[in-house]
Structure formats: structure tokens, C-alpha cells
């Protein structure tokens, strides 16, 4: 969902910048039509959620079957949301209404925030409806089995906003505020040859302080002192892993998961959710923690950053080494779409290419990186600190290594299966950056029995790193030489 919302927001902003610089007219009627569309999408979400909750609590239907049906509801809702959002942005000329009919084009951030309302509001209202399904899944009898009070509807929606929207919205708004300020004060700095320098410092600040911001957004607190914390810290020292702290991610018991944020050890945090700590054994928590450590030991954070920046490097290579091709492409677009519509067509083609890249290329390699981190978690056995290390990773080198790894693999597989059940996720459901639980368990068990598979995975990722490095070196040399 994060990727879908981010791409929708970026597309809206691109289209807004390419829209005609004139009022749309009949702003009140267009606003009324937009509100009707938002209400219709919200109503469809509410109907689907209500029917699913009734089946779970009244009809006592099989939760797995209900979840499968509800997923189909959500896919239909997402499709309708996309249609309505596109109709508002394109058909109702939402950008022209906000910036020219309402006269907000020279404000700082206000126009961008209003531009995103038709994109984000229907999703937030749908989450308010989905609360009923979440509670019916967690508490079929209507009452919690433990002393924990059920989360309120507001808490549920706030958690979704923090997790699905705030992670990318806050950095995006920061960069947009810089752009708006520069446009008002020194518009010449937004020229193509200067724009990189304008955004270099804000981007660096975002990367540096994002972990701290995430700690605030997720209401995370340090993991309390005790046997588990001491065990995790001892393992971190054995694996030569450094982080500023291990934090409890407070979700009111609604999310079972873990995360890692921070390029530099001084600003790096490991997040373990409250629900994960409640329901997983210490060995399983250790396995999940080892998975997060694996991302750092294999430099996955830097590789993900390189994958995100790769399209920029490719664009720079084309701009520097094949400028004539760009001019020809621009001419073709102008002749095909008309001079006035060419900016809008360019915006749509650009966002379409970005979407394909993120879904197909970035998503594929993200899943490969997750597989490598999974395999690290299986090899990082509890007995590692007593054994000789292989390249400092803390792997067993004794005769019982294979048995220890096989045992740790089953612990990690059990943790994955439990996380899927706790989050109400089908084990065969795949995500954008993560393979399905069933696939991940299959891959780690295969790696145990087939060392060549693990070596091949490692070789693939090393080749990816080398390719990214070559790409950015070529782009940097071209920029310095040609300018």
C-alpha cells in the first residue's frame, strides 16, 4: 500500500506541475463532484467491511475464507479508488482548482497538501471502516482473551496513517517546502543545472534524521532491561552489529513485526513491535533480530538506496551521453500530443516508467535482499559466539554446524509462520518487497540442503552491487566531463 500511495501522490504532483496555468472554472460544482466520488469509494469500503465482520462474528464463518473474500473486496475498492482519484485529478482539473480558482499557487505547502486530499482521504476513511474487520479477526467473541483493551477506531486509523502514509509523506513535504520557498525567493535556483545543489542538503538531512523521526512517528521506546535485552545485545556484539538502541514499537497490539532504520550506527535503531514481543519466544525474537542484523551485515541499506537512485543515474547517463536522443523524444511527444499537452504526457510517461521500475526491478531485488537476510538469520546460531567465525559473521565452524543451522532454520521458520498468523496474513500472500511466508520458508530450507543455492544468491547480489557502482561511476564521470 505504501508504494501505491506514494506513486499516486507523486503522479498527482507531476500532473499538477504540468497542468495549464489557468482556472478550471465552475470550481464549486467540480468540488461537489469530487466529494461525491470520495463518498462513493468510502461507502463501498464500509459495505465490504461490514459484511465481512458480520460473517466473522455472527455466522462464525471460517476466518481464512473470510480473509480471502475480504482481500478481494479490498482489491475492488483499490481499483475503484484509483479510477475516482484519476477522475478527480484529470477530469475535474483538481490542480487548476486548487492553484488558480482558489489562488493558492504561491503558498508554501498548502496547495500541495490540498492536491493530495482526494488521493489520501478515501484511503483513510476506508481504514476507519476496516477497523471492524480487524477487531472481528482479533476478538471473534467480542471480548479480548487477555487483559489488553481493544484499540479504538481512532487508534487503528492513526496506526495505519503512521505506518502507510507518514513514512513517506513527511520527507516529501519537507522537500516540497524547500522547493516552494526557493521558488518564491530565488526561482533561478530551480534551473536544471542548479536544482541538484538545492536539494542535496535537505536530502542528506532526511537520510540522517529519518530514524529519529521514525522513532517519534512509531511511538517507540527503549526495550526494557532484562534477559531478552541482554541476550540481544550479546548477540549484536558477537555479530559485530552496532545500533543506537533496540526499541519497542508500540502498536496497541495491532502489528507483529520488526524493522531497521539508519545508515550510520550512531543513528541506527532496531524496532520490535509490542505484539511480536508478546507472542514470540525469546529464540524466535532472536531469529527475527538476526534477520534485521543481516540487512546491515550485507549492506542492504546502501544497496536499497542505490536501487532507489538508479533511475536518476540512468537519466543522467542518457542526458550526458545521448542528448540528441532526448531532443528527438521531446520532438516526437510534442508532435504526437501537441505542444500544450506535451508536459502532461511527459509527466505521465515518467511516472509510468517509475512505477514499472519500482514494482518489477526494485521489488524483485528487494525480495532477493530479504532472502539473503533470512539466510543470515538461519546461520546466526545462538552458539555462534562460542565458535570460530567465518569472515566475522559469527557462523559455526565446528562439526555440528550443519545441525545447528538446521535447528536455527526451523526456529526462524516458526517465527515467520507465527508472524503471519498474528497479522492475519495468508502464508501464500506475497508483498511488494517480501515474498510470501510460504516461499521464504521454502527458500531457507532449500539453502540448508543445497549450499550452491545460497552461494548463487550471494553471487547475484554481489553482481547487483557491482552494477550499481558502475552505473553511478559512469553517471558521475559524465557529469564532471560534460557538465
Of the candidates 303, 301, 279, the one whose C-alpha atom is nearest the C-alpha of residue 415 is: 279
Give the span between the Cα atoms of 357 and 195, in whole angstroms: 23
**pLDDT score of 205 more than 70:** yes
CB atoms within 10 A of CB 94: 26
* 72-78: Cβ within 8 A, 24+ apart: 73/45, 73/48, 73/49, 74/48, 74/130, 76/44, 76/48, 77/41, 77/44, 77/45, 77/48, 77/126, 78/4
What is the arrangement of strands in the sheet containing 269-273, beginning at the earlier edge strand? 221-222, 245-249, 269-273, 258-261
> 93 — phi, psi (to 5°)?
55, 55
CB 217 within 8 A of CB 166: yes
Of the candidates 350, 284, 306, the one whose C-alpha atom is nearest the C-alpha of residue 10 is: 350
Condensed to tens digits (0 to 9), the pLDDT of residues 66-79 reads 777 788 888 889 99
DSSP 241-268: ---SEEEEE--TT----EEEE-SSGGG-
Output the pLDDT for position 188.
77
**β-strands 221-222, 245-249 pairing:** antiparallel
> What is the SS3 string spanning 179-216?
HHHHHHHCHHHHCCCCHHHHHHHHHHHHHHHHHHHHHH
Looking at per-residue pLDDT, the higher value among 410 and 199 belongs to 410
pTM of the model: 0.83
CB atoms within 10 A of CB 409: 23
CB 121 within 8 A of CB 94: no
CB 444 within 8 A of CB 370: no
Largest alpha-carbon pair distance within the chain? 79
The stretches of 248-362 forming alpha helices (DSSP H) are: 274-279, 282-297, 300-321, 323-337, 342-356
What is the helix, strand, coil percentage profile of the chain, to 5?
75, 5, 25
> 194 — phi, psi (to 5°)?
-115, -15
CB 415 within 8 A of CB 409: no
Q: How far is CA 441 from the centre of its chain?
A: 22
Give the span between the Cα atoms of 483 and 321, in whole angstroms: 11
Looking at per-residue pLDDT, the higher value among 459 and 395 belongs to 459
Give the span between the Cα atoms of 233 and 228, in whole angstroms: 9
**What band does 391 get if pLDDT is binned at 50, 70 and 90?**
very low
Condensed to tens digits (0 to 9), the pLDDT of residues 22-63 reads 888 888 999 999 999 999 999 999 988 888 888 777 756 667
Helices and strands (DSSP H and E) totals, the chain: 18, 4
pLDDT > 90 fraction of the chain, expressed in percent and rounded: 31
CA distances from 85 to 72, 116, 117, 118, 307 (A): 20, 10, 10, 6, 28
> How large is the average pLDDT for residues 246-251?
92
Condensed to tens digits (0 to 9), the pLDDT of residues 404-445 reads 888 899 999 999 999 988 887 878 888 878 889 999 999 999
Output the pLDDT for position 143.
58
> 73 — phi, psi (to 5°)?
-55, -45
Query: Would you list the domain boundaries of the chain?
Result: 1-143+150-186
> How large is the average pLDDT for residues 172-188?
86
CB 127 within 8 A of CB 46: no
**What band does 396 get if pLDDT is binned at 50, 70 and 90?**
very low
Residue carrying the nine cell digits 536455527: 408
Give 271's DSSP letter.
E
Condensed to tens digits (0 to 9), the pLDDT of residues 270-314 reads 999 999 999 999 999 999 999 999 999 999 989 988 888 888 878
**pLDDT score of 389 more than 80:** no
**pLDDT score of 14 more than 90:** no
Mean pLDDT estimate for the chain: 83
Output the pLDDT for position 61.
61
Amino acid at each position: 500500500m505504501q508504494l501505491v500511495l506514494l506513486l499516486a501522490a507523486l503522479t498527482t504532483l507531476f500532473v499538477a506541475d504540468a497542468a495549464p496555468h489557468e482556472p478550471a472554472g465552475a470550481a464549486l460544482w467540480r468540488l461537489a463532484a469530487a466529494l461525491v466520488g470520495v463518498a462513493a469509494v468510502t461507502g463501498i469500503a464500509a459495505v465490504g467491511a461490514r459484511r465481512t465482520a458480520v460473517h466473522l462474528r455472527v455466522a462464525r464463518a471460517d476466518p481464512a475464507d473470510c480473509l480471502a473474500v475480504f482481500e478481494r473486496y479490498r482489491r475492488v475498492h483499490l481499483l475503484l479508488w484509483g479510477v475516482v482519484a484519476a477522475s478527480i485529478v484529470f477530469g475535474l482539473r483538481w490542480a487548476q482548482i486548487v492553484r488558480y480558482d482558489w489562488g493558492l499557487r504561491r503558498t508554501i505547502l498548502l496547495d500541495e497538501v490540498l492536491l493530495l486530499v482526494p488521493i489520501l482521504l478515501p484511503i483513510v476513511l476506508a481504514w476507519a471502516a476496516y477497523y471492524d474487520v480487524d477487531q472481528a479477526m482479533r476478538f471473534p467473541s467480542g471480548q479480548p482473551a487477555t487483559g489488553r483493551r481493544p484499540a479504538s477506531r481512532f487508534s487503528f486509523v492513526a496506526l495505519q496513517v503512521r505506518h502507510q502514509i507518514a513514512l513517506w509523506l513527511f520527507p516529501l513535504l519537507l522537500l516540497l517546502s524547500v522547493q516552494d520557498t526557493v521558488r518564491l525567493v530565488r526561482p533561478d535556483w530551480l534551473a536544471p543545472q542548479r536544482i541538484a545543489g538545492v536539494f542535496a542538503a535537505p536530502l542528506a538531512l532526511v537520510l540522517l534524521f529519518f530514524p529519529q523521526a521514525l522513532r517519534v512517528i512509531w511511538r517507540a521506546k527503549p526495550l526494557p532491561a532484562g534477559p531478552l535485552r541482554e541476550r540481544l545485545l550479546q548477540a549484536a556484539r558477537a555479530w559485530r552489529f552496532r545500533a543506537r538502541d533496540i526499541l519497542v514499537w508500540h502498536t496497541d497490539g495491532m502489528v507483529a513485526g520488526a524493522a531497521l532504520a539508519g545508515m550510520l550506527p550512531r543513528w541506527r535503531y532496531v524496532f520490535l513491535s509490542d505484539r511480536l514481543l508478546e507472542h514470540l519466544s525469546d529464540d524466535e525474537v532472536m531469529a527475527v533480530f538476526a534477520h534485521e542484523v543481516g540487512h546491515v551485515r550485507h549492506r542492504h541499506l546502501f544497496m536499497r538506496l542505490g536501487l532507489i537512485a538508479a533511475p536518476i543515474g540512468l537519466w543522467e547517463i542518457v542526458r550526458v551521453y545521448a542528448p540528441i536522443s532526448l531532443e528527438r523524444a521531446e520532438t516526437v511527444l510534442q508532435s504526437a500530443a501537441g505542444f500544450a499537452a506535451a508536459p502532461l504526457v511527459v509527466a505521465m510517461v515518467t511516472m509510468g516508467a517509475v512505477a514499472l521500475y519500482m514494482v518489477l526491478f526494485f521489488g524483485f531485488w528487494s525480495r532477493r535482499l530479504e532472502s539473503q537476510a533470512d539466510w543470515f538469520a538461519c546461520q546466526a546460531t545462538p552458539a555462534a559466539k562460542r565458535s570460530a567465525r567465518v569472515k566475522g559473521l559469527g557462523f559455526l565452524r565446528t562439526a555440528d554446524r550443519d545441525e545447528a543451522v538446521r535447528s536455527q532454520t526451523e526456529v526462524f521458520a516458526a517465527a515467520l509462520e507465527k508472524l503471519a498468523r498474528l497479522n492475519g496474513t495468508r502464508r501464500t500472500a506475497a508483498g511488494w518487497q517480501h515474498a510470501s511466508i510460504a516461499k521464504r520458508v521454502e527458500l531457507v530450507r532449500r539453502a540448508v540442503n543445497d549450499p550452491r543455492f545460497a552461494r548463487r544468491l550471494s553471487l547475484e547480489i554481489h553482481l547487483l552491487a557491482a552494477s550499481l557502482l558502475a552505473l553511478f561511476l559512469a553517471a558521475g564521470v559524465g557529469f564532471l566531463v560534460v557538465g
